[in-house]
Amino acid sequence: MSIKPIHIVGGGMAGSEATWQAANAGVPVILHEMRGVKGTDAHQTDMLAELVCSNSFRSDDHTSNAVGVLHEEMRRANGLIISTAAEHQVPAGSALAVDREGFAEAVTAKLEAHPNVTIVREEITGIPPEDWDSVIIATGPLTSISLAEAIHAHTGEDDLAFFDAIAPIVYFDSIDMNKAWRQSRYDKPGPGGDTAAYINCPLSEEQYNAFIDALIAGEKTEFRD
């Protein structure tokens, strides 16, 4: 008897990992991702598992940090996200940070090449039909308005909201390295023993307040209601 496919809606980090785990267990997966047909306000590409906020997965220290323990558990489960992150790691002290584009390209390529995975580029606008026997909705905070409204109507929940921020971009040539210095958080080394993954800029209270004022007055992205 043939195994019915699992339908996974959303090709972000969670959807990509769920697809990988199910496919490796021998279950056919149909992964529905709207990017490529319809974009979002934050994504720049149609690649799977594209990071739109921080490129850091936080601490990778499994000996003394709970997040690092989760990383280690994901490695032992042959996790797609954690293994691909290791392949595209960039210096970040004891944290696990990645090259965004290389990471997303690799995740996409691995899922496209998996024999048990079919990727369908389409927007799912409502609660999946009954004949989709097994479904995971993993669309995250950038769920399309139509699907969010359908989930709201189905669950009766009013609090479908998510807030996050993207770190401001600072140009290196604007930093006075006679005052700033390179040092990792808590002096914890990263891959290769690097202990100077971050640029640290000391600020007085007056300078800090001026920085906040300039940041607030700076160019901003548009928000979606």
- Mind listing the pLDDT tens digit of every residue in the chain (225 residues)? 689 999 999 999 999 999 999 999 999 999 999 999 998 888 889 999 999 878 888 888 888 889 989 999 999 999 999 999 999 998 887 788 899 999 999 999 999 999 999 999 999 999 998 899 999 999 988 899 999 999 989 888 776 665 566 677 788 898 999 999 988 777 776 655 666 778 899 999 999 999 889 888 887 766 555
Helix 13-24 / helix 100-113 crossing angle, nearest 10 deg:
30
Around 218, how many Cα atoms within 13 Å sit in the side-chain half-sphere? 12
Residues in the chain, overall count? 225
Give me 98's structure tokens.
């990645």
What is the fold of 6-55+99-155? FAD/NAD(P)-binding domain (3.50.50)
Q: What is the pTM of this model?
A: 0.76
pLDDT digits (tens, 9 = 90+) for 38-93: 988 888 899 999 998 788 888 888 888 899 899 999 999 999 999 999 999 988 87
Percent of residues in the chain assigned helix, strand, coil, to nearest 5: 35, 15, 50
Task: Measure the CA–CA gap between 117 and 48, rounded to whole angstroms.
Answer: 13
**Res 150: pLDDT:** 92
Numbered ranges of CATH 3.50.50.60 in the chain: 6-55+99-155
